[in-house]
Amino acid sequence: MEAVLGLLVISAGVSHGLETSCNARQNRSPCYGALGGTVYLQLITDAKGNDELIFWKNQTGTRTEILKRKNYILVITDITIKDRTHFFTNNGTFRLNNTRRNDSGKYLLETYHTNGTFIWTSGLQLFIEAPVSSPQLSSECLSHGEMRVSCSSEGDGPQYSWTLDGQTLRDTETSPGDETNTITLKKGLSGNLTCTVRNNISSVAISKRISHCPGLIYVHWTLSNGTKISEWVHATGNSLCVESTTLAT
């Protein structure tokens, strides 16, 4: 049985810009970049000095030199990425364009005096991930009037969260599920349902106006023993009611 669905609205709050800036001077700090995007790595603050710089990558135990400066001469030494890189001498920033998955890895910068004496080293771990895509919502009504809603998105490591009319869903409103991208709403719920999908570099939200499943009515009734009950029930099958008043359909 199909659920009653309303207008689908994809939030304008898409935050996965394809440019990322990270500070390699904060030793061993993680950096997340979007697949196919651009990453800016702040290597040093003063790139106009004469100190010797060696910037390299450690991938699977292999050291690959990327950039070297000595005697005021700066050279991109890794020819495999040379056409995708640029070093800004005015602010000491290294740019990597059109990022690929194999750009992930540990990057280190070593600095030496002109006489070869070691000064300091710093580095970071770069992770290249695919941004989450605009999510898709689907829903269906279950046999007892509950509504199962699924939110699907592509990308690396998507994490899901849900709100109803701007409020986090409570346990009384949902049934526990095996996957966070699928929830089961208790019968009779309606409102603006929003699914937000995020990972380390992106966040996208989609909203849908939902109504309770067809065939449900909200009633007050009194059992033969005098107990008063208010509940969403199917339009048929409420023979236990002594007195019934429909509040909403």
Q: Could you tell me if 135 and 162 are in contact, meaning their C-beta atoms sit under 8 angstroms apart?
A: no
The pLDDT value recorded for residue 134 is 92
Q: Say whether pLDDT at 74 is over 50.
A: yes
Query: Which class for 192: exposed (0-12), middle (13-18), buried (19 or more C-beta within 10 A)?
Result: middle
**Domain coordinates of the chain in residue numbers?**
5-15+132-210, 19-129, 216-248
Q: Say whether pLDDT at 6 is over 70.
A: no
| Choice among 5-14, 24-33, 138-147 with the minimum mean pLDDT | 5-14
Distance of alpha carbon 188 from alpha carbon 147, whole angstroms = 9
Name the residue with higher pLDDT: 6 or 120: 120
Q: Could you tell me if 229 and 185 are in contact, meaning their C-beta atoms sit under 8 angstroms apart?
A: no
Amino acid making up residue 109: L
The pLDDT value recorded for residue 189 is 82
Name the residue with higher pLDDT: 223 or 116: 116
Q: Say whether pLDDT at 233 is over 90.
A: no
The pLDDT value recorded for residue 44 is 84
- Chain mean pLDDT for the chain: 79
Give this prediction's pTM: 0.73
Distance of alpha carbon 78 from alpha carbon 81, whole angstroms = 6
Stretch 162-169: mean pLDDT: 89
Name the residue with higher pLDDT: 59 or 137: 137
The pLDDT value recorded for residue 176 is 59
Beta bridge partners of 235: none
* DSSP designation for 2: B
The pLDDT value recorded for residue 65 is 94
Stretch 187-192: mean pLDDT: 84
Q: Is-same-fold flag (5-15+132-210; 19-129)?
A: yes
Supply 164's token pair: 């109803």
Q: Could you tell me if 1 and 20 are in contact, meaning their C-beta atoms sit under 8 angstroms apart?
A: no
Phi first, then psi, for residue 167 (nearest 5°) are -110, 140
Helix (H, G, I), strand (E, B) or coil at 102: helix
Q: Say whether pLDDT at 26 is over 50.
A: yes
Amino acid making up residue 128: I
Q: Could you tell me if 235 and 215 are in contact, meaning their C-beta atoms sit under 8 angstroms apart?
A: yes
The pLDDT value recorded for residue 7 is 38
The DSSP bridge pattern shows strands 62-70 and 203-210 to be: unpaired
The pLDDT value recorded for residue 144 is 74
Phi first, then psi, for residue 125 (nearest 5°) are -105, 120
Q: How far is CA 132 from CA 7, 99, 184, 217, in A?
A: 22, 16, 23, 39
The CATH fold assigned to 19-129 is Immunoglobulin-like (2.60.40)
pLDDT digits (tens, 9 = 90+) for 195-216: 999 999 999 999 989 887 765 5
Helix (H, G, I), strand (E, B) or coil at 202: coil
pLDDT digits (tens, 9 = 90+) for 32-56: 999 999 999 998 877 677 789 999 9
Distance of alpha carbon 167 from alpha carbon 149, whole angstroms = 17
Helix (H, G, I), strand (E, B) or coil at 82: helix
> Looking at domain 5-15+132-210, does it have CATH number 3.40.50.720?
no
Stretch 69-86: mean pLDDT: 91
Torsion angle, alpha carbons of 56, 61, 62, 68, to 10? 10
Q: Say whether pLDDT at 177 is over 90.
A: no
Q: Could you tell me if 34 and 20 are in contact, meaning their C-beta atoms sit under 8 angstroms apart?
A: yes
Query: For a pLDDT cut of 70, what percent of the chain falls above it?
Result: 74
Stretch 156-171: mean pLDDT: 88
Stretch 3-9: mean pLDDT: 42
Distance of alpha carbon 231 from alpha carbon 234, whole angstroms = 10
